Amino acid sequence: MNPTSPAAVVAFAAELTQLRLQAGLSQDELAEQLDIQAGDVELSEAGRREVDVVELFRWCQACGNSLDGFVERLERRLAVATSDRH
């Protein structure tokens, strides 16, 4: 799947949201930890703002997860999305 396809963007954003929710953090709390605006968290989780790898690493750390774990869950999510389309 193309990493910039709409389905990939939706999957990435959904995984960001799930990560935050599983950590029990509000958008405001996560934004404070990342030193960004809460609106940036909201836009990222909506798939309307790109997250660079450094911010993703920090996002994972703030949520008590690893970057590797995030990538594995994203790959599983994308595999399901791809198989649902066939």
Residue partners of 30: CB distance under 8 A and separation at least 6:
20, 23, 41, 59, 62, 63
Question: What is the reported pLDDT for 83?
Answer: 78
Contact in structure between 9 and 47 (CB atoms under 8 Å) = yes
Q: Tell me the pLDDT tens digit for each residue of 24-33.
A: 999 999 999 9
Whether residue 86 has pLDDT greater than 60: no
Q: Tell me the pLDDT tens digit for each residue of 34-84.
A: 999 999 999 999 999 999 999 999 999 999 999 999 999 999 999 988 777
Question: What is the reported pLDDT for 26?
Answer: 98
Cα–Cα distance measured from residue 35 to residue 51, given in angstroms and rounded to the nearest whole number: 14
- Dihedral of CA atoms 42, 45, 50, 56 in degrees, nearest 10, equals 110
Domains of the chain: 6-84 (1.10.260.40)
